[in-house]
Structure 1
Amino acid sequence: MTTAPIKVDIWSDVQCPWCYIGKRKFEKGAELYGRPVEIEYHSFELAPDTPVDYEGDPVQYLSERKGIPVEQVHQMLERVTGIAESVGLNYNYDAVHQTNTIKAHELLHYAKAHGKQLEMKERLLKAYFIDGEHVGKSENLAKLAAAIGLDEADVLRSLNDEEYLAAVKADMAQAQAYGINGVPFYVKMANTASPVHRIQPPLQQHSQKLQKTGTNSPFFATVPAHNVGYLKYRSE
């Protein structure tokens, strides 16, 4: 008998370092779980007020935004870079272009409509954290989309027309309704075929293994929402 996939909705941002790390860890957790997992990404802007062409680097940005000394920011980035390496990701903060990610989120919705959201998410994260590409401009995003087989001209049309801006805003509104104030954030709706308590233990067991890498422990909780259960998984 074919096993129906478990559906997990993930709120994240393209410029969130923990989202890329969490993506790798969640993929491993899903692999250990041993059943099909269907993933859908949703938009969450960590810094919607960031200019597209921010003139400083990530160190300056984080120092200004968080109000902390530059040396402390260097220590933070060194730590997160080390954790990224532990899951096979080589972050290159010297090349990162700090930017606004609204257009990247619109592109992810476009990619979802064309059956390529997962590929697009991976390409955007790699472009931002590893390849040093600019993910805030429509022209750049269209080229990244073309690299995974999407129509570059149509992607550019969609971004210029703000075709999926309403969808991005809807995701943000849903995040607020769920009480999400940080990402990555994972939501699993419970149903009679795959109740929360059946998917939760395997992921919890994997989270205990992940603690050995030196990361913070992922957060799990089952909470009622409009009489429907949710699994919330936060990795940071």
Structure 2
Amino acid sequence: MISPPIRIHYFTDVLCVWAYLAQVRLDELIKHHASEIEISYHFMPIFGCTEHRIEDGWKDKGGYAGFGEHTHQVCKAYPYLALHQDVWKINAPKTSATSHLFIKAVQSLVGAGMINNEACADLQHRTLFEEFVWQVRLAFFQDAKDIGNMQVLKEIARTMQLPVAQIERAMDDGTALAALFRDIELRDEFRVEGSPTYILNEGRQKLYGNVGYRIIEANLHEILRQPKVEASWC
């Protein structure tokens, strides 16, 4: 009997640099364990209001410009990352929530079977949905585009030949907003503290922040090795 795949809840904010650099680890996890896991993607508003978080929160450290320098310092140790020299200094998004709403609209179309979401070699074995999320991140970190602007998101979708009219409909009728609020409810249910966070074993295992790939994989292996019925140690 084939066991069902292990569900991994993955929480991020698209403007979080730690989630940006963690993408390579997630890709590696999927590459080696695609048949054993199922990733549920959730989005949380760490950068729901960048004016409050950065302009006010970093007022004594240079505001947006200072946060941009901080982002470059973080990425220095990860030379594989493309980072725009003026990230956060130009076209700073007012919020990540616009991107998250748009992404949830795309995700809802996948769930309804309206978007073919098979993993594709041309997309480095990501699904179309996963690639869209990655392109949104790239648009900000690599190209310094304002991904809080709906027109920027629509342009990314058009470039990827996604059905923009149907995506807009999912936002207009509340489908995407309901899904986004469900993500926030799950964030609270799992007591997620920040981005990125992996939730495994229905909340029993939580990996938060800049966690190395081997640690993530070790936690997955522990679940894979567990017997289906195990006596309580209590």
Q: Same fold (TM over 0.5)?
A: yes
Tell me what 1:90 maps to.
82
* 1:109-120 alignment, distance < 5 Å: 109-115=104-110, 116-120=128-132
* Partner Cα separation in structure 2 for residue 133 and residue 73 of structure 1: 16
Q: Does 2:148 match 1:153?
A: no
- The verdict on how the C-alpha distance between 1:74 and 1:100 changes in structure 2, with shifts beyond 3 A counting, is closer
* Partner Cα separation in structure 1 for residue 68 and residue 139 of structure 2: 21
Q: Does 2:178 match 1:166?
A: yes
Q: Does 2:83 match 1:76?
A: no
Q: Deviations over 1:175-201 (max 9, x none)?
A: 0121112110111235xxxxxxxxxxx
- TM (norm. structure 2) is 0.68
Q: CA RMSD in A?
A: 2.9
* Partner Cα separation in structure 2 for residue 169 and residue 61 of structure 1: 21
Tell me what 1:108 maps to.
103
- The verdict on how the C-alpha distance between 1:163 and 1:3 changes in structure 2, with shifts beyond 3 A counting, is closer
| SS of corresponding position for 2:107 | helix
| SS of corresponding position for 1:164 | helix
- TM (norm. structure 1) is 0.67
Conservation of the 8 A alpha-carbon contact between 2:5 and 2:38? yes
Tell me what 1:122 maps to.
134
* 1:1-236 alignment, distance < 5 Å: 4-32=4-32, 35-50=35-50, 62=54, 64-70=56-62, 73=67, 76-85=70-79, 88-96=80-88, 97-115=92-110, 116-189=128-201, 230-236=204-210
Provide structure 2 residue ranges, at least 5 long, that are not aligned to the other structure: 111-127, 211-234
Conservation of the 8 A alpha-carbon contact between 1:8 and 1:40? yes
- The verdict on how the C-alpha distance between 1:84 and 1:146 changes in structure 2, with shifts beyond 3 A counting, is farther
Which residue type is aligned with residue 7 of structure 1? R
* Partner Cα separation in structure 2 for residue 61 and residue 173 of structure 1: 21
CA shift, 1:79, in A, is 2.0
- Structure showing the higher strand proportion among its residues: 1
* Partner Cα separation in structure 1 for residue 34 and residue 73 of structure 2: 31
Conservation of the 8 A alpha-carbon contact between 1:139 and 1:156? no
Which residue type is aligned with residue 28 of structure 1? E
Which residue type is aligned with residue 121 of structure 1? V
Which residue type is aligned with residue 62 of structure 1? I
- The verdict on how the C-alpha distance between 1:141 and 1:9 changes in structure 2, with shifts beyond 3 A counting, is same
- The verdict on how the C-alpha distance between 1:178 and 1:66 changes in structure 2, with shifts beyond 3 A counting, is farther
CA shift, 1:129, in A, is 0.7
CA shift, 1:49, in A, is 2.7
* Partner Cα separation in structure 2 for residue 34 and residue 11 of structure 1: 19
Provide structure 1 residue ranges, at least 5 long, that are not aligned to the other structure: 52-59, 191-228
Runs of 4+ in structure 1 displaced over 6 angstroms? Answer: none
- The verdict on how the C-alpha distance between 1:150 and 1:32 changes in structure 2, with shifts beyond 3 A counting, is closer
Which residue type is aligned with residue 97 of structure 2? I
